[in-house]
Amino acid sequence: MNTITYENREITPSKIVCIGRNYVEHIKELHNEMPDAMVLFNKPNSAISDTLFYYSEDTRFEGEICFLIQNKKIAGVGLGLDLTKADIQNKMKAKGLPWERAKAFNGSAVLSEFVLLTDDVSSLRFELYKNDVLTQFANYELMIYKPDEMLKEILTFMSLEDGDIIMSGTPKGVGTYEVDDVFTVKLYTNEALLLESKWLVKELLETL
């Protein structure tokens, strides 16, 4: 089972619950319809990775603020990349089929360490840099559905175990990437830097 680090302890999430279409400008950049209800999908434990691999020329990065759950509450916060095989997803969407082949493949949830969330969740914002160029930016105010709403909606139909993760959606600025690209993500609470992670894109040497 794959693990993440939370407050210097190893945690094993049973799953990741992802919120889709949670930022207006991202919905527009992908020419998607505005949802009339929260869009949710899951990634399994096998999707978790601390290494960013190159999968294909159409694989897209999507930076997100992530929340760690304990006792059915948000306890920790981190950052992640929701990787998407865009061509496959577009074909699935056109046929009205599930997205798992495009969203839930091994290594498709690249996660930072997680830290204890002590400040108000509304103070959070993050920045993503690709090769030192600011590419994505998001904060609490830009989210259509706020973290408390996400948690409440998920718990109406699905159990959340200790260590499970919510990926809260991606803002505009998504794109593809290549081997040796460098991603830097920074999470702030107000103006204080809460955590920073960096990933160098590596070549995938084996078939997953």
Question: So what's the pLDDT on residue 208?
Answer: 52
Main-chain phi, psi angles of 80, to 5 degrees: -155, 165
List, for residues 51-70, the tens digit of each pLDDT value. Answer: 999 999 999 999 999 999 99
Maximal CA-CA distance, the chain: 45
187 inside domain? yes
Is beta strand 73-82 parallel, antiparallel or unpaired with respect to 63-70?
A: antiparallel
Total structural domains in the chain? 1
| Mean pLDDT, range 183-191, rounded to an integer | 97
Question: So what's the pLDDT on residue 21?
Answer: 86
Question: So what's the pLDDT on residue 205?
Answer: 82
Of 79, 167, 75, 166, the closest CA to residue 125 belongs to 79
Question: So what's the pLDDT on residue 23?
Answer: 87
93 inside domain? yes
Question: So what's the pLDDT on residue 18?
Answer: 97
Question: So what's the pLDDT on residue 59?
Answer: 98
List, for residues 137-182, the tens digit of each pLDDT value. Answer: 999 999 999 999 999 999 999 999 999 999 999 999 999 999 999 9
207 inside domain? no
CATH (domain of 134): 3.90.850.10
Q: Report whether pLDDT(188) > 60.
A: yes
208 inside domain? no
Q: C-alpha 207: how far from its chain's center?
A: 23
Ranges 20-29, 149-158, 179-188: which has the least confidence: 20-29
Q: Domain of 27?
A: 4-202
* Contact indicator for 172, 28 with CB cutoff of 8 Å: yes
Residue with tokens 């803002």, as numbered in its chain: 171
Q: What is the mean pLDDT of the chain?
A: 94
Which SS3 state, helix, strand or coil, does residue 13 take? coil
How sure is the predictor about 35, in pLDDT bands with cuts at 50, 70 and 90? confident
| Mean pLDDT, range 17-29, rounded to an integer | 80
Q: Report whether pLDDT(32) > 80.
A: no
Measured CA angle at 182 (ends 112, 125), to 5 deg: 50
